[in-house]
Amino acid sequence: MFGKLLIDERFQHYNWKSLQKDLISGIIVGIIAIPLGMAFAIASGVKPEYGIYTTIIAGILISLFGGSKFQIGGPTGAFIPILFGIVITYGYENLLIAGFMAGVILILMGIFKLGSLIKYIPRPVTIGFTTGIAVTIFTGQITNFLGLTGIEQKEYFHENMAEIFVHLNTVNLYSIITAVICLVTILLTPKLFPKVPGPLIGLLISTFVAAILYPGEVATIGTAYGEIPNSLPQISFPEVDLATIGKLLGPAFVIALLGGIESLLSAVVADGMSNSRHNSNKELIGQGIANVITPLFGGIPATGAIARTATNIKSGAVSPLSGVIHGIVVLIVLMVFAPYASHIPLASLAPVLMIVAWNMSERYVFSYILKTKTSDSLVLVVTFLLTVLVDLTTAVQVGLLLAVVLFTKRMVDSQVVERALPNLNTVNQKIETQMVADGHDCPQITIYNIEGPLFFGVAQSFQQTVMNTINHQPKVLLLRMGKVPFIDITGEAHLASIVKNFSKHGTVLISGLNEQPKEMLKKTGLYDIIGEEKFFQNTGHAIQYSLNLLDTTKCKSCKHFAFSECKDLSSTKELVLEGKKGYTSISQY
């Protein structure tokens, strides 16, 4: 197995010195991961040991099978609200099933190379739900920080806030002292001892103070959840039926989507810090494998952890082996020190999670987007509020839908379908909009400037605008489409309708057609219906071709003089234009 791993490009040029660096970074990250694993599990509504199991199993598997060189996987704060909601609604056993299903979905996403699609999720959506998750985590620890008793965990934010308010009279002063000691230690440790993990030192000092100065006065992991076993559980899995799969499909997709986003964001951060490059699809497969195996040991869903991955790189990691070592370190600590972890006060874990929430809140980016006062601000606020007040599933769905609707509106607003004529007052006589007026128009040639994608959102208005021209029944309809980057099947259908109706009495010409619209018209057959000879690279040649189609008798009485040739046409008794050569002066368009 190890020989196969060495073939992996992430292990190229690996040597003894590399192993030493991975060993050091793996030990450091492993020590940091222990309190976080327990804290994330408790906040998710499950026993602390399940977080430890996840850290061990998922941490090792993500490093072995993932697509990032330095990724550290495990339970993360981002999962807390969704996992807690599943536990409250469906129970712990169904959480395991949902996690397993999410793993399968992640593997399929990787196999079908959907890793690159996640980056298209709008930033206001990701910042909105990330900040919402941070608020949920932070407020969820108020109970343990204050040592409140009699609290019933509710599904919704406002219900939990009401519970806290009602039970404020049960505040435990010893819990507050314990939490403050831990919080101050976590904040001061990086400044005094940069290489020492603050959360671990905070837990040790606050636990020691509580046990010595006021034993039995604060709730601990042991009193709330019992002793933590000092070994991994046997492999098992709850019974599954189609009805269970059906009701958990939605939560599983949310876990998979959130896990994919979080892991790929973490991998991108790692790339920036280490000048490396991850394989997004392989990373999804690795995440999927970890989430398929971890539930068999009772573990909760896992993903890439940005803070631990950054610490891994800063500690000198060279390869994914540091992530494997981090999992082994946690396993050794579990086997040796698990009974002692039962004495950790819940009030000591609260500051750990509050710091995590504060760091993941994206408060500066949130404020920046909010200040723009654009449609992105609306998407941000809606996603944030739904994450906090309803649930993450609804927030992501509504946020994405709202982002798509607002994006479509922006595209519609940016669409240009306007009449145009040459500006005879300029040297190049450039074709410009707003040149058409009652006394300045061509009764026989109508030109339209079309700008922006021709898609379902604008296709109907595009057709209606152009079709109004048919009432005047010009000989030629020239569509300038050089600034149309994209056309979908709806846009093509409306363009085809224009061609069909206009061709009854005139000719449709198109100039400047880009590659994607051209391929679309060829696939549907509209290109051949129009005729290849009626497509032109530039407008000058299209106008030149149009002059061959004019009824010159109408030109003699026309006083609009829309083109530079109009004076000659109106005074010439007979005009013969040969093919597409036409007037020599037409090259100026």
Q: What domains can you pick out in the chain, each with its CATH number?
A: 38-361 (no CATH), 416-588 (3.30.750.24)
- Tell me the pTM: 0.79
pLDDT higher than threshold 60 for residue 588 = no
H-only helix segments in 390-537: 392-414, 459-467, 489-502, 515-524, 526-530
Residues 9-19 pLDDT 10s: 666 777 888 89
CA angle 353, 356, 358 (to 5 degrees): 110
Residues 378-420 pLDDT 10s: 999 999 999 999 888 789 889 999 998 998 888 888 888 998 8
Query: In this prediction, what percent of the chain has a pLDDT beyond 90?
Result: 62
pLDDT of residue 443: 84
How far, in Å, CA of 115 to CA of 470, rounded?
A: 48
Q: Which are the contacts of 249, defined by CB distance < 8 A and separation ≥ 6? A: 101
How far, in Å, CA of 376 to CA of 407, rounded?
A: 9
pLDDT higher than threshold 80 for residue 425 = no
- The answer to whether 67 touches 107, Cβ cutoff 8 Å, is no
Q: What tokens appear for 102 in the block?
A: 């999410």
- The answer to whether 119 touches 101, Cβ cutoff 8 Å, is no
Residues 154-189 pLDDT 10s: 878 999 999 999 999 999 999 999 999 999 999 999
Reported confidence tier of residue 138, pLDDT bands at 50, 70, 90: very high
- Note the residue count of the chain: 589
How far, in Å, CA of 103 to CA of 101, rounded?
A: 5
- The answer to whether 399 touches 379, Cβ cutoff 8 Å, is yes
pLDDT of residue 424: 76
Residue showing tokens 């920036």: 272
pLDDT of residue 115: 82
Residues 260-294 pLDDT 10s: 998 998 898 899 888 888 999 999 999 999 999 99
pLDDT of residue 550: 85
Q: Which are the contacts of 155, defined by CB distance < 8 A and separation ≥ 6? A: 85, 88, 89
pLDDT of residue 502: 92
pLDDT of residue 573: 45
Reported confidence tier of residue 347, pLDDT bands at 50, 70, 90: very high
CA 266 to chain centre: 13
pLDDT higher than threshold 90 for residue 120 = no
Strands 507-511 and 535-536, by their bridges, are parallel
How far, in Å, CA of 474 to CA of 483, rounded?
A: 24
For residues 530-555, average pLDDT: 88
Residue showing tokens 């500006």: 423
Query: Residue 305 carries which side chain, given as an amino acid letter?
Result: A
pLDDT of residue 556: 76
Strand ranges, E, within 10-106? 73-74
Q: What tokens appear for 254 in the block?
A: 């949310």
pLDDT of residue 442: 85
3-class state of residue 388 by DSSP: helix
Give which of 57, 26, 54 is closest to 41, Cα–Cα: 54
- The answer to whether 486 touches 451, Cβ cutoff 8 Å, is no
